[in-house]
Amino acid sequence: MKQVVIIGCSAAGVSAAAAMRATDPAAHITMVSDERTAGYRRMCLGNLLVKSKRLKDCLIEPPDFFDRLGITLALGSTVEKINPRRREVALTDKTKFPFDVCIVAGGRDAVFPRELRGAQKQGVFTFRSIAALAALEQLIPISSTACVWGAGIAGLTAAACLRQRGLEVKLITARQQLLPEFLDLAAAELLRRVLESRGIEILFEMDIREVIGESDVKAVRLNSGKVIGCELLVVDAFNAARARFLSDTDIAVTEQGIAVDQFLQTSNPAIFAAGDCVDSAGEADTPPEKRYVWARATAQGRAAGANAALFLSGGAMQPWPAAYAAEKTCDLFDYLLSLRWRTPEEMPVPAETKIYFDEAAGIFHKRTIGNGAACAEVYIGPAADWGSPTAPGNEAAGARGGRFASADDFAGGAQ
C-alpha cells in the first residue's frame, strides 16, 4: 500500500486529499496539521469573532469527510523536518511518517519584521487561525482599545469585527490608500469613509516600530515617533510560506514560497506543494492579495493530489489549470466589500468596463465584461442592496450584480 503524507489541512490540503483518494482508492493518506480543528474556512474567522456563524458552518467539508475517505488525521502536530532521502516526515514529538509521496500544503504564517521590538508581548495576535482567535477572544472583554496593523482583507475584517465588539480601533497601513490592487481612488475613498464613519481611525503611510509595555501591550510606537495607546495589536501586514521544515533539504524555496513546476512538483519528484505556500512559475507579477486566494489554493490542491497519484502509478501528469475565478468578500458592519476577478488566462478579450457610482447612496459598483461574461468586479455598498432588484440602478435585472444585466455571474469561491 502506497503511503501519502499531506502537510496542511485547509483549502489546498483538503482538495489534495480528495483528489488523491478519487485517483487512488487504495493509498494510505495521512494529513498532518498543527491546528486542532480540521479543514475550516479561514475567511470565516471574522464571522466567528462577531458570533454570526458557528464553527460547524465554517467547515470545508462535512464532519464525516475524513472518515468517509479513509484519511488518518494527525492534528495538533507540528512538522519538524522532511527527510527526502529517507522519504520521511518527522514531527517535533519525534513521531515519523514514511511516505512514497508527500504534498506540502501548509499555507502561510503571519510574521513580524525583524526590526519590530516587543512583538512577543501578551496582547499581540495574528488573524489566521482559530487558535489565535481563541486567544484574542480571552482579552476582548477586558480591553477597550486595539490597533490593527495591515489593511488587506484580513486586516479590514479584523478592524471591523473588533469595532463591532465595542473596542476603539485604529487601522495602521504603510500604503497611501486602501487595497490599491483592486480599488481606484474613488472606490478607496468611499471605503475609507465607510470605515471612519463607523468609528475606525485609519493611519496611512505608517508602520509600527515598537510594541510598548512590560509583559502586556500598552501602546505602539510608529515610524513617525508617535505613540498610540492600545491593549490589543492584531498584525496582518506580513506573511511567509510555512516551509521551515525544508531548510535542511535541497528543495528550492524562494522569498515567495516553495518553488514548483507546472505539475506542482518541487525539485524533489516525490514531493509536491500547493496553495499559499507555493511559488509557482508565471505568477511573479501577481500581487499577494490576488495570488493567495481560496480558488487558487483549491485548484492547486486538486492538481497536486491528482498528479501525486499519477506519479505513484507512472501515469502522465497534467499541468495545473492556472485559469480560475476568484472572490474576496469583507463584511463591514452593514456594508459589503466584494471583489471578484478572473486570472489573465480566463480574461475575455476584448473587455468593457462599466461603473455605477452613487456617492450620496454610498454605492460603488464596477464591472469589466467580455464576451457577455463578467471578468472583474468591485462592489462597495450596503449589504442589503447587493443583488437587490430595488437597489438604485439595479432595477433592470433584479439579480446579483444586476446593474450590468448583460454579464453572467462568476463561479469563483469566496474568500
Residue 387 pLDDT: 60
Predicted confidence (pLDDT) per residue in 347-359, tens digit = 666 678 889 999 9
- Whether residue 244 sits in one domain with residue 98: yes
- Whether residue 231 sits in one domain with residue 141: yes
- The pTM (predicted TM-score) of the whole model is 0.90
Q: Residue 300 is placed in which grid cell?
A: 492547486
- Alpha-carbon distance of 146 to 98, in angstroms, equals 45
Residue closest to 302 by CA, chosen among 78, 90, 11: 11
Quickly state the pLDDT bin for 280 (edges 50, 70, 90).
confident
Quickly state the pLDDT bin for 400 (edges 50, 70, 90).
very low
Predicted confidence (pLDDT) per residue in 148-193, tens digit = 999 999 999 999 999 999 999 999 999 999 999 999 999 999 999 9
Map grid coordinates 493509498 to a residue: 27
How much of the chain, in percent, has pLDDT values that exceed 90?
Answer: 77
- Alpha-carbon distance of 81 to 49, in angstroms, equals 33
Residue 348 pLDDT: 60
Burial classification of residue 289, based on how many CB atoms lie within 10 Å of its CB (0-12 exposed, 13-18 middle, 19 or more buried): middle
Segment 248-273 shows an average pLDDT of 95
Predicted confidence (pLDDT) per residue in 320-366, tens digit = 988 888 999 999 999 999 999 888 666 666 678 889 999 999 999 99
Residue closest to 236 by CA, chosen among 50, 379, 43: 43
Do residues 301 and 15 make contact, with C-beta atoms less than 8 angstroms apart? Answer: yes
Segment 229-242 shows an average pLDDT of 93
Q: Quick one: CA dihedral 316, 320, 324, 329, positive or negative?
A: positive
- Alpha-carbon distance of 192 to 202, in angstroms, equals 8
Residue 321 pLDDT: 83
What contacts 263, CB < 8 A, 6 or more positions away?
272, 303, 307, 317, 318, 319, 320
Residue 118 pLDDT: 95
Last residue of a domain, one of 235, 258, 281: 235
Last residue of a domain, one of 214, 235, 256: 235
Q: Residue 243 is placed in which grid cell?
A: 516551509
Quickly state the pLDDT bin for 413 (edges 50, 70, 90).
very low
Omega of the bond leading into 350 within 30 degrees of 0 (cis): yes
Residue 351 pLDDT: 74
Residue 398 lies in a domain: yes
- Alpha-carbon distance of 210 to 84, in angstroms, equals 40
Q: Which run of H or of E encompasses 356?
A: strand 352-358
- Alpha-carbon distance of 69 to 286, in angstroms, equals 35
Predicted confidence (pLDDT) per residue in 19-76, tens digit = 999 999 999 999 999 999 999 999 999 999 999 999 999 999 999 999 999 999 999 9
Residue 169 lies in a domain: yes
CATH code, domain carrying 224: 3.50.50.60
Residue 320 lies in a domain: no
Residue 345 pLDDT: 64
Last residue of a domain, one of 260, 283, 313: 313
Domain count, the chain: 3
Do residues 160 and 331 make contact, with C-beta atoms less than 8 angstroms apart? Answer: yes
Do residues 194 and 171 make contact, with C-beta atoms less than 8 angstroms apart? Answer: no
Q: ∠ CA 149-155-161 to the nearest 5 degrees? A: 115
Lowest-confidence segment of 107-111, 147-151, 370-374, 389-393 by average pLDDT: 389-393
Higher pLDDT, 210 or 408: 210
pLDDT above 90 for 257:
yes
How many C-beta atoms surround the C-beta of residue 8 within 10 A?
Answer: 29
- By residue range, what is the domain housing residue 410? 325-415
- Whether residue 349 sits in one domain with residue 267: no
pLDDT above 70 for 312:
yes
Map grid coordinates 478572473 to a residue: 342
